[in-house]
Amino acid sequence: MAKDIICLFDTIKGLTDGRCYYGQATYDSIENPVLPYVVYFEVNKRATSFSDNHPTYYVSNYQISLITKKKDVKLEQKLESALLKKDFIFQVISEYRNEDKTISRVYEIKMEEYINGK
């Protein structure tokens, strides 16, 4: 799973000149964040298969939020193509305007992890 997370981070960080954050955006001034940027985080991780009362298979859901000054279809397509190229199957789960007039487009990715043995 750690390899998948690193691959996910590497896939999306290049699209926004390295402005890719885990959990929340961090920048110098809340009034003037450098746009666009991406925030991603693990929403949940659930064991779905067990052997001898030990989990053997997990499914994790990640959300990726692309935040832009205005609707940017080209950047969205670039992000989506990069994800698909690395075999990350995504769902667009929402898109909305923030209080500061920026646009957030939210993607969800499901990752699976097999635990070999106990």
pLDDT in tens, 84-115: 999 999 999 999 999 989 999 999 999 988 88
State residue 117's pLDDT score: 53
93 vs 16, higher pLDDT: 93
Where in the chain are the domains? 2-104
Question: How far apart, in Å, are the Cα atoms of 30 and each of 15, 36, 47?
Answer: 21, 14, 38
The domain defined by 2-104 folds into STM4215-like (3.30.2000)
27 confidence band (pLDDT: 50, 70, 90): low
**Tens digits of residue pLDDT in 37-72:** 999 999 999 999 998 888 999 999 999 999 999 999
Residue 77 has pLDDT above 60, yes or no: yes
d(CA 105, CA 6): 22
Residue 29 has pLDDT above 70, yes or no: no
Are 22 and 69 in contact by the 8 Å Cβ rule? The answer is no
- DSSP bridge partners of 102: none
